A and B are shown apart, each in its own frame.
Chain A
C-alpha cells in the first residue's frame, strides 16, 4: 500500500498557510451536527476537545483516570519551546525547525516540523491568556531557559512543573466547554476498540472502570490522544497507567504503526534501587543547565565510591572526568538526550559507574551553588532537589545527584499524514500517540509544544476538511460493525478473565521489560534483537496459558485492566524488535552497534534508511508488513550530527 503524506506544495514557509486556505470548512450551523470522539485528555486531547467544542462540534472526551487533569502530561517538568526570540539571541522559526530536524537525526518530515515551529509562538500566547503562570523576569516579562540540542534560550517554563501548568490550562478550557454542554466527559473509562465502518472510523467501544459496562459510542471522527508506549519497558518515567492499548487496538483495525523502535532514553533519571521498583523518576533536563555530569577517571576510584569508602566530595578535581564537557566542548552538558544517555552507559560499561549498584553517574551542582548561591539554585530547581531527596534520602545540595538513563518518551506511534490522519479515514492521532514530528530523537521541551500544537492549532483546521467531505449525516449505530466490534471486545475480556494460572500479570510485564531493556534499549544488535523476538513470542504463549487474572468483568477490576494492557504491550514489543532489527543503521535513540563512527557516535545510513517504517497488521500471529514512506529533504542538508 502506498502512503500519501499529503504534504502541501509550495515553499516550506508557505505550506501551512496555503494548506489552511485550501482546506474545506464546515459552516457554523452544521458544526453542531457532528460528533467527535477524543480519547485521552493530556495536552493533545484536552486542547483538541476544548478547541473543537469552542468551534461548535459536539465532543465526547474519554480518560481512564478519575479526572482529565491527571493525564501524564502533568508530569512534564522542564518547559516548552517556542520561537519567540524574546531573548534576542538569534532564534527564529527556521532555527527551531532546523534544531528539531537535526535533533531528530533527520528522520522527521520537514513540512510537519516547520509547521510545529511556526505555531509554537501561538501556544505561548494562548497559555498566558488562560492564566498559565509561566516564570517571569523582574520586569514582568516572560523568562526563558536553555535546553539540550539548542544554542538559544527559547524554553518557557513554570518552575519544574511546566507540564502541570500547561495541562491545567488546557483542563480549564475543557472544563469551560463541559460547563457549556459542548463536551461530554467520560472519566474512569477505557477505550478498548475502534469501530471501522466501510473503511472509516465511526466509533469506539469502551469499558467503564467502575462498573465494567461495555459501551458503544458513535462519532464522525475519532481522535486518539493516548500518549506513548514507554511502559513496554516496565520501568519508565511514564505513569503506572500509561498504556498502548487504544493505539494498539486501532493498529489491529488497520492503522499503521510507524517507527516503533524509536524510543527515547532520558539521561537524567534517578537510578533503580531494586526489584520492587515500579517506576523511574525523571530529573528534568533543565538541571543540565547548571549541573555538571561526571564519573571518576579510574575504575579504582569508582570501586571505592561503590563501596562507600570514598564520598564524591573526596574526589579531587583532576580525578574527575566531566565526560560530556570533554567530548562535546561546544554543547557540553547540553548535548541531546540520546548522546548524553549513551555516554553515561559507556561510563558504566567501563566500570566507572557510581552508587552501590555501579549503574549511575554524577550530576553535580557544587559549582553552580558556589557561583549562584544556594538560594538561587533552590529557586530554580528546588522542587526537583526535594523530589530527589524524598526518593533517595540524599541531599543534592551537599553531594552530587546520582543519575542514570531511563525510558522516557516514544517518538514512534501511529502513522499520520500532514493532517494528523492515520491511514484509516476518520481516525486521527495527536501528540505522543503519533509518530510525526520528532524523528528518531525528541529534543527537550518539544513534547509539550507538539501536544498543544496538534490540539490547539492543527486538528481544528484539518479535521474540518474531512468532516465537510463526509457530510453531517448521523452515524448509524445499528450497522453490524458496531455489534461485531463490541462482541470482539467481550470475547477478549472473557478470554482474559478465564486465565487462572500461576504467574501474576505484573511478573509478565517485568519479564517483558527485562527483554526490551536488555536487547532493545540503549544499544541494539541484530543478534540480540533476533533473540528478543523469540523470547517475546514465548512470553506471549506463556501469558495466555499461565497468567492469573482475578475477579469478574462487572466490577472495579484493576487486575483485568492490567492484563489487557500487558497483553497489548507484549505484542507491541515484538513489533518494536522487528522494526529495530530491520533498521540496520543508528539514528537518534536507535543505536545499532553495527553502525557507528570510529569514535562511537551514531552512524546513519541515509542511502538505505531515510524513510518512515509504517507497519501494517496482517492478522493474529502473522508477520506484520512494512510500508515505506520515503523522507525527502529539500531545505535541510543531511549531515552527520555533530555536537562537538
Chain B
C-alpha cells in the first residue's frame, strides 16, 4: 500500500507568517549523569526568552551557551543532521520519545508546541540495552550488532544483474520502502514498557523479506537477527503498540507480525537454513 504522508490536521493552527514576536520562559528538568558508572539526577534550569520558531535542540543550544558563559558544564545530547533523518537525536520529553508530537524526531520538534511558563522534563532513552554515556546520550550500538547479525542481502560488489531484470510490483516496492524508512533512533525501545526492539528489528526483516532479492536468506535472516536481539537484553513484545504510536517514521506493527511469521516459519519449516547465514 502506498503510504501517503499528509499533514496531520489536528495540529494545524492559523497560519502566521513565522518570526513570532513573543518569546517564552520555560523551566527544564534535565537528567544529568557524568558517565555510565556514576548515578544520575535531575537538575533544574531556566530557559528564558525562547522563540517559538526554535527547534527543541536549538533551545538546548541556547541553554548550553548560557551555561558555558557561566563556566558550567553544558548538557550533553546526541544530534547530527537536525532534519529528522539521521536518527542520532533522542530525548524522552515529558514522557514521550521525541516529545509530544506524532511522527517527528526531537530535532523537528519546534518550541511553538510548548507554552510560556511550562515545565519540560528531559530524560535519556531508558533501557538496559541502551546504557547512558553521558547526560542524555545513550549507547545504541546494540542496534548495529543486530543489523550485523543478518540485516543484509549477501551480494558482493559487481557481478549483479541489470536493475530491471526483476520487476517488483509497485505495491510491494512501496511497502518495502515504508519498512526501510526506519532511522534506527531507538524511540520504539524507549516507548516500550518491556524495552523491546521488535519494531526496529522487524522493519529490516520485513523490508528484505518482502523483496524478491531478499528471499534466499529470508528465514535465516529472521532467526539470526532475533537471536542477536535477544542476546542484547531487549525485552519481548506484548503488543501494547506504544512503539508504533511513538515511531517518528510511523513504522507499523504489521512489521512485527511479518517478522513473527518468518521467525516461526523458520523454526518449524526452515530450521536447516537457520545457521547458514554466512554469505
Contacts and interface: CB of A to CB of B under 8 A. Distances in A.
B138 to A, nearest CB: 9
Contact of B163 (A124, A210, A241, A397): A124
B279 to A, nearest CB: 6
Nearest to A307: B17
B164 A141 contact: yes
Contact of A550 (B74, B103, B279): B74
Given A67-B141, A72-B86, A383 B71 contact: no
A142 B164 contact: yes
A187 B141 contact: yes
Contact of A65 (B80, B112, B133, B162): B80
B147 to A, nearest CB: 5
Interface stretch (A272-280, A325-333, A530-538, A605-613): A272-280
A635 interface: no
Interface stretch (B57-65, B238-246, B253-261): B57-65
Nearest to B83: A281
B153 A172 contact: yes
Interface stretch (B24-32, B170-178, B189-197, B266-274): B170-178
A216 interface: no
A75 interface: yes
A500 to B, nearest CB: 8
A129 B155 contact: yes
Contacts of B163: 84, 124-125, 127-128, 134, 142
Interface string A66-101: 111110101100000000101000000000000000
Contacts of B265: none
B152 A278 contact: no
Contacts of A504: 65, 68-69
B147 A378 contact: no
Interface string A385-403: 1110111111101010000
B176 to A, nearest CB: 5
Contact of B153 (A131, A185, A399): A131
Task: Specify which of B2, B85, B278 lies most central, judged by the most chain A CB atoms within 10 Å of its CB.
Answer: B85
Contacts of A54: 156-157
Interface string B114-139: 00000000000000000001100101
Contacts of B183: 164
A113 interface: no
Contact of A70 (B88, B181, B214): B88
B173 A136 contact: yes
B177 A158 contact: yes
B176 A133 contact: yes
B237 interface: no
Nearest to A356: B19
B17 A308 contact: yes
A360 to B, nearest CB: 10
Interface in A506-521: 506-507
Contacts of B81: 70, 72, 74-75, 239-240
Task: Specify which of B58, B82, B104 lies most central, judged by the most chain A CB atoms within 10 Å of its CB.
Answer: B82
Nearest to B209: A131
A68 B140 CA distance: 12
B152 A133 contact: no
Interface in B142-189: 143-144, 147-158, 160-164, 166-170, 173-174, 176-177, 180-181, 183-184
Given A125-B163, A395-B7, A168 B180 contact: yes
A318 interface: no
Contacts of B44: none
B6 interface: yes
Contacts of B79: 240
Given A74-B86, A278-B61, A140 B157 contact: no
A8 interface: no
A468 interface: no
Contact of B148 (A179, A375, A500, A559): A179
Contacts of B177: 133, 135, 158-159, 165
A237 B279 CA distance: 38
A250 B16 CA distance: 48
Task: Specify which of A70, A130, A131, A176 lies most central, judged by the most chain B CB atoms within 10 Å of its CB.
Answer: A131
B53 interface: yes
Contacts of B168: 136, 140
B211 A133 contact: yes
Contacts of A399: 15
Contacts of A140: 167-170, 173
Given A131-B207, A279-B82, A550-B68, A164 B181 contact: yes
A639 B183 CA distance: 45
Contacts, number: 256
A73 to B, nearest CB: 10
Interface string A214-245: 00000000000000000000000101110000
A239 to B, nearest CB: 4
Given A128-B213, A133-B180, A378 B6 contact: yes
A133 B164 contact: no
B87 A126 contact: no
Contacts of A276: 51, 53-54, 58, 61-62
Contacts of B76: 556, 558
B39 interface: no
A356 B163 CA distance: 47
B153 A129 contact: yes
A175 B51 contact: no
B65 A393 contact: no
B152 A176 contact: yes
A457 interface: yes
Nearest to A308: B17
Nearest to B173: A136
A75 B160 CA distance: 27
Given A66-B139, A175-B147, A550-B73, A75 B65 contact: no
B192 to A, nearest CB: 20
B84 interface: yes
B202 interface: no
Nearest to B153: A131
Contacts of A125: 160-163
A456 interface: yes
B80 A70 contact: yes
B55 interface: yes
B250 to A, nearest CB: 11
Nearest to B211: A131
A175 B152 contact: yes
Contacts of A128: 160, 163, 166, 213
Given A175-B144, A556-B137, A65 B88 contact: yes
Contact of A378 (B5, B148, B149, B184): B5
Contact of B15 (A124, A127, A179, A393): A393
Given A69-B87, A131-B176, A393-B112, 12 more contacts: A131-B207, A133-B211, A136-B174, A173-B157, A175-B148, A179-B150, A276-B53, A390-B84, A393-B15, A393-B18, A507-B65, A558-B76
Q: Which 4 A-B pairs have the closest CB atoms?
A: A140-B167, A172-B152, A382-B5, A129-B160
21 contacts: A72-B81, A74-B86, A75-B81, A125-B160, A125-B162, A126-B157, A128-B166, A130-B213, A133-B173, A136-B173, A140-B167, A140-B168, A140-B173, A176-B154, A281-B82, A357-B19, A378-B5, A397-B7, A556-B76, A558-B76, A559-B74
Interface of A: 47, 50-51, 54, 65-70, 72, 74-75, 84, 86, 122, 124-131, 133-142, 158-159, 161, 164-165, 168, 171-173, 175-176, 178-180, 185, 187, 210, 237, 239-241, 273-274, 276-279, 281-282, 308, 355-357, 375, 378-379, 382-383, 385-387, 389-395, 397, 399, 456-457, 460, 500, 502, 504, 506-507, 548, 550-551, 555-556, 558-559
Interface of B: 2, 4-7, 12-13, 15-19, 34-35, 51, 53-55, 57-58, 61-62, 65, 68-69, 71, 73-74, 76, 78-88, 103-104, 108, 110, 112, 133-134, 137, 139-141, 143-144, 147-158, 160-164, 166-170, 173-174, 176-177, 180-181, 183-184, 207-208, 211, 213-214, 278-279
